[in-house]
Chains A and B, each alone.
Chain A
């Protein structure tokens, strides 16, 4: 299936995300809706006061996985453009860590695709966060991506 992804926007950056620019980027004249997801740093986690978060990524693989999400959206939802941006480095309370924008002619597809994108990002994109509290720090309990089907034993030295 062909994918019209030429104006999609996939970004990993240590700079603050420009939410308005990203949301505007996906708008096209034929669209009627943009749905966005803004994930930002909460001031507490499991009852402990959060000071800040440090994000790191397996950067080239993370970009590949974010692109795979965008491709999947085009193949499975009646949408126009996709933007997926994720911050790395140290983030303070209230700063946006992930921002997703999806445009579509009609809102239902944009809502569904945006929800799919954030849920899949949290399961499959190799990004990690460490949470710092007044009394210590922990790596956030995350999700293990689905294990690929066992591949047949390959002969060595092909």
Chain B
């Protein structure tokens, strides 16, 4: 048996042009415990390299509060990747 590594599951939400690009509004992702929001993004970009072009125009949120990319994730977190906002 391979060594047991602890993982966590988080919910990820996409909005605006990012949602349109990916063709989905949300997904559930399993990651190594201790992963950051940046690690989560790279995990998603690993499956879809074109995602990288959005990286510098996104801000992330964790549990509905803006969060730095290095923020550590906890099991059950709700993470969203937000394009530049344009309300009003």
Contact = CB atoms under 8 A, between A and B. Distances in A.
Given A58-B13, A144-B57, A128 B87 contact: yes
A149 B68 contact: yes
Interface in B47-76: 57, 59, 61, 64-68, 70-72
Given A126-B15, A128-B16, A139-B17, A151 B85 contact: no
Contacts of A61: 61, 64-65, 80
Contacts, number: 105
A128 B15 contact: yes
**Most chain-B Cβ atoms within 10 A of its Cβ — which of A39, A86, A140, A155?**
A140
B33 interface: yes
A128 B85 contact: yes
Given A128-B16, A145-B59, A151 B68 contact: yes
B48 to A, nearest CB: 19
A155 B33 CA distance: 10
A39 B34 CA distance: 44
B66 A125 contact: no
A156 B85 contact: no
Interface in B3-33: 6, 13, 15-17, 20, 33
Contacts of A141: 84, 86
A125 B85 contact: yes
Contacts of A144: 57, 59, 84-85
A-B pairs, top 7 by smallest CB distance, nearest first, are A127-B87, A142-B86, A156-B34, A142-B84, A140-B86, A128-B16, A61-B64
Interface of A: 39, 55-58, 60-62, 64, 86, 97-98, 118, 121-130, 139-151, 153-157
Interface of B: 6, 13, 15-17, 20, 33-34, 57, 59, 61, 64-68, 70-72, 80, 82-88
Given A55-B87, A125-B87, 7 more contacts: A56-B15, A118-B88, A126-B15, A127-B88, A128-B16, A155-B72, A157-B34
